[in-house]
Each structure stands twice: as structure tokens, then as C-alpha cells.
Structure 1
Amino acid sequence: MDTTLVRRIAAPFIAGSLATGILAAPSEAAPAVWTAAWGASPQLPSTGFTPNWSQEGFSHQSVRQVVRVTKAGDLARIRLSNTYGTAPLRITGATIARTTRGPAVGQGTVRHLTFGGRRSAAVPAHGELRSDAAPLKLKRLESVTVTLYFAGTTGPATFHAQGWADTYRANGDHRADTSGAAYTGSTQSWYYLSGIEVGGGKGGRTAREPAEPSCGTPAEGGIIVFGDSITDGFGSTPNTNHRYSDALTERTGRPVVNQGIGGNLVLNDSAWFGERSTARFERDVLDQPGASTVVILEGVNDIGFSEAVKGPNPPPTYRPAPVVSSGELIAGYRALIGAAHDKGLKAVGATLLPFKGSDHWGPHAARVSNEVNDWIRRSGEFDAYADFDRALAAPSDPDRLSPAYDHGDALHPNDAGYRVMADEVAGVLGR
């Protein structure tokens, strides 16, 4: 193995993509347990797949974002990211509340968040910030709404492109509104919000909620699913929580945090699709409280972009597109496995799904995908593996995604395919 390559890939773990650290509110008394209950990996402001507000940012506006938490608790705090900001991000105020429908929230559930005891805060350029704890009893799989108000002008916004859920915008300060009437604009991306963590209550349960399902216990810890657009949920039905991460938390009863980025690569950074996985692994996986397992599904873009750019009118988003060998990709996996083990996390590998017939397919990609999948199955270097390749293959052609599970591009699953993926991982985890 090329040890020089391994050192180059592993270097981000030493330098740390969070060199500036995550600022903790100094006045907060640490609760017994915090668990990551939702997450979204930050991305550089860009055009994205669908219209979004990342490049224009916000000015004298409120942004309301709806997410589903995968853990119950008595306390909640949010995590804000200004990873790609070149100046401090000034938050005039923020609230968290239970969701009712669309941008509306429940009467009596709005909690004003504080940061070091103050309602306003500044997130440093290239930094992150957690709020203080807010008392809000949440059930597992309950939707919550986070509203950020910016009295000034933010400039381009650190965001997550593919949310598969509506985010709302209103002119002026509407952070405490229970009605959603002022929120007349919407996109399907998330802005600045990169995590929600819950705490309090025995095992993170509220006093009124029954114990977690027997198929999962708090002692098993949370699961981070890490990867590209398939992990991110491309092809799932918007506003329905039908990503494979959603099905996995429903199937296992364990907290699951989705850290997929559409188009992400193991070995190369992309202006469109985020930092390479080895550079963002510390921030997106190792810094998630309460996690015990990471499921890694990534590599189809590393080997597929070089095939896609050979076609007519390839999109500019498919570059860089070097020809990547199985050895280089395996070296990247080894760096991720080593970093997970150093943190005490179980590393579960996932074979690449069938993708014959997609724009990522070609002779080189076919050969390398088979070599990589064989290594994942036989090497024993992952603690366990989920065989998505075989679970979602067409009966008539193992190189093709089954028509029953194909979103329509021969690359991404549909809702049914994502449920099969969740069942495969749950089976590997013994649930």
C-alpha cells in the first residue's frame, strides 16, 4: 500500500477541519448526557441542485427550518455553522418550538434560545457555536422548528443543499410567531443549522414517554450515516422523512444522524459537493455526542465522475474527475476506519449499490466498483458491512439497480429502496 497516500489522506484528522473549535456557551451547566438527534453537513454556498438562498444570504429576515429529532429528551440545544463564512455571523435571535404544520408552531412551545446567557450571538468566521440548553420536552421522531432572525445582512450563507424538506423565509422579525402566515418564501435547503442535540431525562426520555422500543436501547448509542447523495436521500419523497436514515431510526429505535452530502467524494474536495470525506469526518462524525457507530457509504462519485465527464455536455459539477483506482479508494476507507476506531466508534462499511445504466457507469467504474465491494466483503477491516450491492440488485442483472428500487436514474433508490437499505443495516447491527 502507498503509505505516502495514506499519510496525505489522514492528514486532515491531525490538522482538524475544526481547528477553530466549537465554541461552547460559558454559562451553561453541562447536563448528564447530550445526544446528537439530527444533523446536516455544512456546505459552501453554491447554486445547488434546486434554487436556494445560500449565495444571497439574508438581510432583516427570519428563517424557519423544520427537522425531525431521533431522540427524546427534556432539553434541546442547536448547533450553528459558519464554516464557510469569511466574517462573523451575527444572530440577532433564535427560537425552537414544536412543529404543527408547515411553518406554524405550537402555542406555548416557543423557547427563546440563548448563547452564553444572551439571546444574540456572533459565530466566528469558519467556526461553529452551540446554544445554551433550552427546556423543551421532545418525543422521539417529533418534528421541531428552529427559527433564526438576522437584523443585519449575513452575506453568503453556509448551508446544506439537499434538505428534502421545506425551509421558510419571512421579512422582519417573526422568530416568535406561532402562525406561519409571514413565511411566504420557501426552498428545500438548510441554512446555518447543522445539528440539534437533546439531553435530560433518564436515557433521554421525557417523563410522559414510554421506554424506547426493545429493538434499540440508549446504551447502544447513536448511529451516524455518512456518505454522498444516496445517504443524503436523493430521490426520496420531500417532506415525508423517507431517507434511509429515517427508516433506520424507525427500524432500530436508535438515534440516527444523517451526514450525507450529494455528490461528495472520498478523495477530492468539490466547490459543489463539499470537502472530501476524509477532511470533514472529524466535524461531521467524530464530534457528534452520543454516537457509537458510523455507517460509511461513499465512493461511487470518485469512480463515476470520470466516466460521466466523457459523455455529451457533462455538468461542471462533475469536476474534479480524476481516474481513481480501487487502491486509492481503499486507502481512503482505511483512513476513515482508523479515525473512527481512534474515537471508539464501530465502523460499518457499505458496498456500493449497482449503478449500471447510469451516467456514472463505464468499464473503469464497473471494474473498480467490483474490486472495492469485494474488499469491503472480504478484508475484515470494517467491523461489519452492509451489502447494499446485493440487497438492491435487479434479479436479471446484478450490476443494475432493481426497477422496484430505482428512483429513475439507475443510480439513486426510491423510498422503497431506502427502506431496504435500512433493513440491511439493521440486520447487520442485530436489529
Structure 2
Amino acid sequence: MNLSTGRVVPVLTTLLLLVPAVPASATTTGRDSPGGWSAAWSTAHHHPVPGNDWDGPNWSVPGFADQSVRQVVRVSAAGSLIRIRLSNRYGSQPLRLTGATVGRPTSGAAVRPGSLLPITFDHRRSTTVPAGAELTSDPVPLPVRALEALTVTLYFAGPTGPATFHQSGLTSTYRATGDHRFDHRAAAFTGETSQSWYHLAGVDVAGSPRTRGTVVTFGDSQTDGYGSTPAADNRYPDQLAEQLVGAGRPLAVANAGIGGNKLLADSTCYGERGVTRFRRDALGQPGVRVAVVLIGINDIGGGGYPDFGCGASPVVTAAQLIDGHRTLIRAARAERVTVIGVTMPPMKNATGYDTPPNEKVRDEVNRWIRDGGEYDAVVDLDRVLADPADPDALRPAYDHGDHLHFNDAGATAAAAAVAARIR
């Protein structure tokens, strides 16, 4: 039983004992001493793109002008100080932020009266983030508990141009005309909502000796949370954070998944290739101690399709994917970060993915992750999530419905499998 949520965590078999667990304290980056900064919430950004029928509308292409953007996030670890990170990585012009606040939400866009505090940058309430850059705020003296929600409101007086964003936020972001940074009421924000994150790249915590660094989950939509219930914090990284908190393990969890992302190919819609963004989105997180890697299924399933406007999808071999994984491993080792490999879950009957050649590549890569001995530890989701009656297919109880993505129950099982590898 998960003590923080009441969720039942499945009992895992001796399968998880195939590879010894790696203590989180076994490695250090030098950036994660007790009480120092740890990434307690994050999202990985990509280029602005128009909305669509399956991901929903978003505001990334027009950006913002004389508008307040209110975003609610849940931090995974405790601290007496918080700070935020803003990104203009894919902006076409400098991003001028008129001001920002942080507070404690009640419901929806409403904030607890009296809890709103200004966020400053180099002791100023306004700041400019150069195009292609990120910026970290000054510390804010706001004590937070693990798994507590915070509301961050950004106000842009002038036009921002296209917004650096994360499309599949699976939670409501609110927009209002005018400056509503210090407005605790929800009324101004009831007209427009989006399911994406905008410019907010991370929330870090510090000042608690119990928080000893961050586990970064890196990958594609299976990490990003597609298939889990929206607005419920049921992504597998969310549930990993809950299980670590329930077990008294003092680690934050940061999510660096992007839906549709590939290990080897860039996409204007689904982010830079994993071998490129891993250093920034995973190893660049404050306090990172462990990186958990689950990626490659889109390289396999998307291989050979023409460019529909999101980038080319070349056919890949198992050897190419393994070389990509080795690139991530070398990068993590160079930063003295523990790196855990996760096998790709079953994909039988997944439209566009399940073909005999694709299954052969998936099996070969999974075999290398499982038995190659190059990752510091392995989580074998291929077996954890498989249907006992058909190991090439997802267990029906874990299947979101497309035979590729796992649902809330599957995310619970995945989180338990990963938690078992972190001591």
C-alpha cells in the first residue's frame, strides 16, 4: 500500500532481482549536498507548434501579450526555499517577463488568500530571458512539503512571440487578460484553459536536509504520462515520487519525458533527439543523482514514415539504438550520475508499431538493456507489464487502450519497478 495515496502497489516477482539495485548515494554530481537545490518538478520543452485534434489546442504559436499565465505544479520533495526556472530556448526573440508570483492553490486557478509571494530575478521583479536561454529566479522563502501543489503565475505585458512550451501537460493551465499575478480569485482565469506548460521549466527546492537530490525520469510519452488520467498526477514519475515519499526515501523526482520523442531523430513537434537533449533535460537538472532511461519505441514505430511536418523518421537498427543508449550512459558516467536502463514495454497490436521487423528490433534492444551489463541497473518493464498469456502484448489491466501506452494501473506497476532499483 502506498502510504501517501492509498494506492495498492503490486507485489513484484523475483524478476526485479535479476539486476542488483544501485543505491542513490553511490554516486554524486557535487550539486546535491543535503539542503542544496534539487529539482522537485520539471518539464522538458520543445518547439512551439499549432494545436491538433489529439493533443488539443495550445497557445504556443501566438504566445502572450498583456496576459497572465497561471500554472499549477506538484513538487516531489520538501524544502524551506523554492525557486523557478524559465525557458526561452525555442523563442524567436528575448522573452520579457513583467513579473511572477508563487502561491498555494486551493482549487482550479484559485490561490489561498495571503499566500501569494513575488518571484524576483537578480532582486528585480521583471527580467528578460534571451532567445535560446534559460534563467533561474532568486530563492523564495516558501516552505513546501513533498507532494504539495504550488501555483506559479507569469505576467507578460508586451508580446512574447512564439512560446517555448511542453504540449502534453495533462493538467489545466489558465490564461487571463491583464495583470493578475496577485489575484487569488479564479474568476479572471475561467475563460481560457490549455493542457500545456509554457516557459516554466522547473521548480527547485532547498533548505531541507531530508531532500538529498533528484531522480530524473527521461524518455517519451510513456514517461510523459500519456494514457494516465489527466489532472490526477498519475504519470509513472508522479507515482514514483509518491512511493519514494511513502517509503521514507529522501529523493525528489523530475519528469523529462516528451510525447513522441525519439532517441536518434529530431522533431519540430516532439523535441530534440534524446542523445542531444539528455545532457540538458536530465543531467542538467539541479541535484540529479539518478537518471532513469525509457526511450526508443518511437524510433522503431515511426521508422520509414514520410515527413508529415514534424521531421523525418528514418528506419533504425537495433545496433543504432544501442549506440544511442551507450551515448547516454557515457554522458551520465562523465557526470557521476547513476543511470538505470528500462526495457521498452510490449507493443503487440499497436497500430503502426507492431510489425515483425519492428518487434525484432525491440526484442534485440531489450535483450541488450537486460543482459548487456552496461547500465548501472535495469528495470525490465517489458516483462513487468506483459500479459502472462501473451508476453508480446501489454497486460489488459495495464493497457490504456491503444496497446502501446499503459494506464494508471500500469503506471503504478512501472513506478514500483523503478522504485525497487533505487535504494
* TMscore range, shorter length: 0.7 to 0.9
**Contact 1:109/1:136 (CA < 8 Å) preserved in 2?**
no
**Which residue number corresponds to residue 38 of structure 1?**
41
Instruction: Tell me whether 1:257 sits opposite 2:231 in the alignment.
Output: no
Instruction: Tell me whether 1:245 sits opposite 2:230 in the alignment.
Output: no
**Contact 1:305/1:319 (CA < 8 Å) preserved in 2?**
no
**Contact 1:297/1:350 (CA < 8 Å) preserved in 2?**
yes
Q: TM-score, normalised by structure 1?
A: 0.86
**Which residue number corresponds to residue 406 of structure 2?**
413
Distance in 2 separating the partners of 1:381 and 1:202: 32
CA shift digits 1:276-304 (9 cap, x unpaired): 01111111111111121000000000011
CA shift digits 1:63-86 (9 cap, x unpaired): 000000011111111000000012
Change (3 A) 1:69 1:419: same
Q: CA deviation at 1:316?
A: 2.5
**Which residue number corresponds to residue 25 of structure 1?**
none
Instruction: Tell me whether 1:163 sits opposite 2:169 in the alignment.
Output: yes
Q: Which amino acid aligns with 2:365?
A: V
Q: Which amino acid aligns with 1:429?
A: I
**Contact 2:216/2:255 (CA < 8 Å) preserved in 1?**
yes
Q: CA deviation at 1:32?
A: 5.4
Relative contact order higher in (CA < 8 Å, ≥ 6 apart): 2
Instruction: Tell me whether 1:299 sits opposite 2:296 in the alignment.
Output: yes
Q: Equivalent of 1:143, from 149, 154, 178?
A: 149
Q: Which amino acid aligns with 2:364?
A: E
Unmatched 5+ stretches in structure 2:
1-33, 246-250
Q: Which amino acid aligns with 2:362?
A: S
**Which residue number corresponds to residue 263 of structure 2?**
266
Q: TM-score, normalised by structure 2?
A: 0.88
Change (3 A) 1:88 1:319: closer
Q: CA deviation at 1:321?
A: 1.6
| Displacement over 6 Å in runs of 4+ | none
Number of aligned positions between the proteins: 381
SS of 1:137's partner is coil
Q: Equivalent of 1:228, from 210, 213, 220?
A: 220
Change (3 A) 1:389 1:188: same
Q: Which amino acid aligns with 1:337?
A: I
Q: Equivalent of 1:404, from 377, 393, 397?
A: 397
Distance in 2 separating the partners of 1:115 and 1:223: 27
Instruction: Tell me whether 1:121 sits opposite 2:114 in the alignment.
Output: no
Distance in 2 separating the partners of 1:252 and 1:63: 31
**Contact 1:225/1:259 (CA < 8 Å) preserved in 2?**
yes
**Which residue number corresponds to residue 369 of structure 2?**
376
Q: CA deviation at 1:318?
A: 6.8
Distance in 1 separating the partners of 2:194 and 2:35: 37
Distance in 2 separating the partners of 1:202 and 1:352: 35
Q: Equivalent of 1:96, from 81, 97, 102?
A: 102
**Which residue number corresponds to residue 190 of structure 1?**
197
Distance in 1 separating the partners of 2:289 and 2:311: 34
Q: CA deviation at 1:315?
A: 8.8
Change (3 A) 1:51 1:279: same
Distance in 2 separating the partners of 1:322 and 1:287: 28
Change (3 A) 1:315 1:269: closer
SS of 2:47's partner is coil
**Which residue number corresponds to residue 4 of structure 2?**
none
Q: Which amino acid aligns with 1:333?
A: H
Q: What percentage of residue pairs aligned between the two structures are identical?
A: 52
Instruction: Tell me whether 1:361 sits opposite 2:368 in the alignment.
Output: no
